[in-house]
Chains A and B, each alone.
Chain A
Amino acid sequence: MPVLTLSKQVLASIDVTVCVLPSQAKHSEHHEGRHYSIPLEEVKAVFPHGLPSRFQQQIKTFNEACLMVRKPALELFTYLKSSNFAHPAVRYVIYGEKGTGKTMTLCHVVHYCARQGWLVLHIPDAHLWVKNCKELMKSSYKEERLDQPLQASVWLKNFKASNERFLKEIKTQKTYVWGKQESTEEGRPLGEVVEQGLARTRNASDAVGVVLKELKQQCQRGSFRLLVAVDGVNALWGRTTLKREDKSPVSPGELTLVYNLRKLMMNNWNGGAIVTTLSQTGSLFKPRSAYLPQELLGKVSHGLPPPSFTMGNRNPGWGTASGHGGRVCFSLSSHNIL
């Protein structure tokens, strides 16, 4: 979001004019540039943790949540509408310079999919999982891995708030043993796994892993659509600032949360889509001027199409919604701000 420059005329007037647009599914090119407002109850339900802090401040001040309809979001909607869910999930990457609206575009897509009835797996900022961890414990499941109870429990709480009805409908397909006396049998609703993770923070990261695995397996049956929305996906393949007790550095693959999320990022499942954002803002050991996928993702971005700066420059050969496991890039430049 560009920084609000308050002018005298703007300050003198009180209200923000808002166009009341038809329901979101019917947003199309001629709605580009106009604002649509999300009712505040929906904001609390769909975005317990997704919106950037400056936008939350705006919601508090003006008593309304107004999002602008922009081209990259509209393009993503056409792709999602016409995607074939029998094919592997397509991975979309939104990149751009600082302050161009990547997180807001992601939130727009999340809201759209939530309205359509998809199950939304929203990780607000993957960078928070690889830095500033106060409690790092050895994982009880695998010896080499490390658990992050605090981050995992926070995420589980927010996930529960946004996807209540799915947690009651989806059933586990395996028995999971948490400790000597606690276990979740096969066929119990997924909500119980989440409760278990919230009740015992020791098992929170493993609960997250179980949830991700179950959702990935069951999505392929087709009873629900899964949207994986990750903000700051370059954190999963970068470096961490965390250290073990013997001061040796930890790589992201050794963290349970990151390991399980990376499995979801592979395109070996179908029935949904993966929309991600690259972000330099919270990233570690990356210069401020880096914003291209090659710069931020490094080796993982091999095979990504070359970045296009204008929306018209898309090669029809790669990564359309018919998904050959393709990855589609969207660039957001300051020209796209209307």
Chain B
Amino acid sequence: RPPSPLVRCRLTQVRWSRYNPSFIEPEVNKELYQKPWEELSEEEKKKLELKAVQPIKAAPPSLSSSVFSDPMVSKFTNMMMKGGNKVLARSLMSQTLEAIKRKQLEKYHKAPEDEKETIECNPYVIFHQALKNCQPIIGLSSITKGGKTYQVPVPLKDNRKRFLAMKWLITECRENKNRRMLMPEKLSLELLQAFNNEGPIIKKKHMLHKMAEANRAYAHFRWW
């Protein structure tokens, strides 16, 4: 029996399509392909053999094998993006990194000889370290027991920690800035402060830790 017209047009929608479970994720790591056959471990050999037979999903446009691409930076850019304007978000990100580099270089040139080695000039290193410093270790979750909701301290997953750090950074830069200050300038300021373990976002993290410490009594409400 031919499918009804409505079903036929639904089948060609790309946006909500789901891959068959047999499809494999694309492998972007160049070093893996450059290794000779003998050096591969058992699982890697099995995977390569499977690739010859099974179909592979299409790689998303944000996935790249370039040395300059950084998954953290791409994630942060996506979170900064508004209304799908990736071009603007990416340019803001690159301007932020440029601003960090310029500030650190000026500090480097003014510093005396013995302090020059301690100054970190690589903006990617600063970005990663700042985000790491902003990640909370323990979070709060609302659990309803006996009609009342309690804020229960709960260990956070890695993904959730990274998300919270990035979210706090972006909301802080969007709300607490001078009207005339642009996003790259404010972001670079916040990132440098977070790198040195000071600033409003580190404070927010400490507040969360304190709240979790204060609600220690309810920790046994957690069942997972």
Residues of chain A touching chain B, judged by Cβ–Cβ distance below 8 Å, are 4, 6-8, 11-12, 14, 57, 60-63
Contact of A14 among B94, B97, B121 (CB under 8 A): B121
Whether A7 and B68, one on each chain, are in contact in the complex, defined by CB atoms closer than 8 angstroms, is yes
> Is B109 on the interface with A (CB-CB < 8 A)?
yes
- Chain B residues with CB under 8 Å of A12's CB are 122
The answer to whether A11 and B97 touch across the interface, beta carbons within 8 angstroms, is yes
Q: Is the pair A63, B109 in contact by a Cβ cutoff of 8 Å?
A: yes
Contact B109 A6 (CB under 8 A): no
- Which residues of chain B come closer than 8 Å to A8, judged between CB atoms? 67-68, 124
**Is B185 part of the contact surface with A, judged by Cβ < 8 Å?**
no
Given A4-B98, A6-B101, A8-B67, A61 contacting B123 (CB threshold 8 A): no
Which residues of chain A come closer than 8 Å to B67, judged between CB atoms?
8
| 12 pairs from A and B in contact (CB 8 Å cutoff) | A6-B97, A6-B98, A6-B101, A8-B67, A8-B124, A11-B101, A11-B121, A11-B123, A12-B122, A61-B102, A61-B105, A63-B109
Known: A7-B68, A11-B123, A62-B105. 7 other contacts (CB 8 A): A6-B97, A8-B68, A8-B124, A11-B122, A14-B108, A61-B105, A61-B106
Chain B minimum-CB-distance residue to A60 = B106
Nearest CB in chain A: distance from B109 CB, A: 5
CB of A64 to closest CB in B, whole Å? 9
Q: Which residue of B lies closest to A8 (CB)?
A: B68
State the CA gap A188–B109 with chains docked (Å): 46
Residues on B with beta carbons closer than 8 Å to the beta carbon of A7: 68
Assembly CA distance A60 to B102 (angstroms): 9
Distance between Cα atoms of A11 and B97 in the complex (Å) = 9
What 0/1 readout, one digit per residue, does chain B (99-136) give for beta carbons within 8 Å of chain A?
Answer: 00110011011000000000001111000000000000
Identify which of B94, B98, B121 gathers the most chain A CB atoms within 10 Å of its CB: B98
Interface residues of B in 126-166 (CB under 8 A from A): none
The answer to whether B124 and A14 have CB atoms under 8 Å apart is: no
Q: Number of contacting residues on B, CB 8 A? A: 15
Q: A57 vs B105: C-alpha distance in the bound complex, in angstroms? A: 12
The 8 A-B pairs of least Cβ separation, nearest first, read: A63-B109, A61-B102, A61-B105, A12-B122, A8-B68, A14-B121, A11-B122, A11-B101
Residues from chain B with Cβ under 8 Å of A4 in the complex = 98
Measured CB to CB, the closest approach of chain A to B213, in angstroms, equals 39
Query: Chain A contacts of B98 at CB under 8 A?
Result: 4, 6
Q: Distance (Å) between the CB of A296 and the closest chain B CB?
A: 29
| CB <8 Å contact, B124 and A11 | yes
Chain A residue contacts of B122, Cβ below 8 A: 11-12
- How far does the alpha carbon of A11 sit from the alpha carbon of B105 in the complex, in Å? 10
In the bound complex, how far is the Cα of B105 from the Cα of A303, in angstroms? 50
User: Which of chain A's residues has its CB closest to B66's CB?
Assistant: A8
Which A-chain residue is minimally distant from B116 (CB atoms)? A14
Q: What is the CA–CA distance of A60 and B108 in the complex, to the nearest angstrom?
A: 12
Nearest chain A CB to B72 CB, angstrom units: 13
A61–B97 alpha-carbon span in the complex (Å): 14
Q: Bound complex: CA of A7 vs CA of B123, how far in Å?
A: 11
Contact with A along B45-56 (1 / 0, CB 8 A): 000000000000
Q: Within the assembled complex, what's the spacing in Å between the Cα atoms of A77 and B117? A: 43
Could you say which residues of chain B place their CB within 8 Å of the CB of A61? 102, 105-106
Shortest distance from the beta carbon of A7 to any chain B beta carbon, whole Å:
6
Nearest to B110 among chain A residues (CB) is A63
Which residues does chain A contribute within 8 Å of B121, judged by CB atoms? Answer: 11, 14
Q: Which of A14, A62, A63 has the most chain B CB atoms closer than 10 A to its own CB?
A: A14
Please report which residues of chain B, range 20-76, place their CB below 8 angstroms from some CB of chain A when the two chains form the complex: 67-68
B residues in contact with A6, CB < 8 Å: 94, 97-98, 101
**Complex alpha-carbon distance, A57 and B123, angstroms:** 18
Q: A6 to B95, alpha carbons, bound, how many Å?
A: 10
Residue of A nearest to B109 (CB): A63
Q: Which of A6, A7, A11, A60 has the most CB of B within 10 A?
A: A11
Which residues of the partner chain B approach A60 to less than 8 Å between Cβ atoms?
A: 106
Chain A residues within an 8 Å CB radius of B106? 60-61
Closest to A62 in B: B105
Name the CB-closest residue of B to A58: B102
What B residues does A14 contact at CB under 8 A? 105, 108, 121
Complex contacts, A57 vs chain B, CB 8 Å: 102
Assembly CA distance A14 to B106 (angstroms):
11
User: Which residues of chain B are near A62, meaning CB under 8 Å?
Assistant: 105, 109
Cα distance A282–B136 when bound, in Å? 50
Which of chain B's residues has its CB closest to A6's CB?
B98
**Within the complex, what minimum Cβ distance (angstroms) separates B154 from chain A?**
37
B124 cross-chain contacts in A, Cβ below 8 A: 8, 11
Say how far A186's CB is from chain B's closest CB, in angstroms: 51
